[in-house]
Structure 1
Amino acid sequence: MHDTTAARAAGVTGCFEHFDVVEVLLDDGYLGLGRDRPGQAITPPRRPRPGALPSRFQQWERDRHGHSSDRIAVEHALADRKRWKQLIRWTHRRDRLPDTYRAIAGLVSGRTVTG
């Protein structure tokens, strides 16, 4: 299932209606959501068409780099949880996974980012 379809099926898109001042940085998997919710669902800029002016490609490269620099914190937060061996191959009861995941997320989210 595509990322945007999964987000819509889970009801995540309804949150945009209730929290209109929230901006969410997304990756390329959510281009449809970015199209539907401009200004709230922020996706990477689209590549210029072939034959565009060199200045347009330079601007696109700066915008793309800025977006990925902002998103790297999100990617690292997702990767932190994947590094926990207990979550990679969950062999315990399925109904205990959400509680375990929240406990680990609480441990990891207590860190501060400096930069």
Structure 2
Amino acid sequence: MATLDKLMNYPAEFYVPAHGHPSTDITEVLMANKKRLQEVTELVLSLLSAPLSREEIVAWFYREKSIDSSHSQYFLSTAAITAHLTYLAEQGQIKPKVADGVLKWYRSS
């Protein structure tokens, strides 16, 4: 989120995104990305009404969002969910706990 905020105020003649076309104004793209990140973060937090492992969260997204089940997509999805979990943990909203050799995520009380 902080990176998106920095980019919002970064002066440049044009921007070249990793996906998409060069543009002179990236405000709309940044706002859409920020909104989507917030939606996914809120969804991950809502899933943690019961303790879940990262893999259980990834599996939920696969089922509910009909994600392509290739191994490369699995690794990308796992990395994305890990980033959301890390963000929520850094914000103090969730915490990890190892139980029976499985790391599960809990909402902070």
TM-score normalised by length of structure 2 = 0.31
Structure 1 or 2: larger helix share?
Answer: 1
Report the structure number with the largest CA radius of gyration: 1
TM-score normalised by length of structure 1 = 0.30
Structure 1 or 2: larger strand share?
Answer: 2
Name the structure, 1 or 2, with higher relative contact order (CA <8 Å, separation 6+): 2
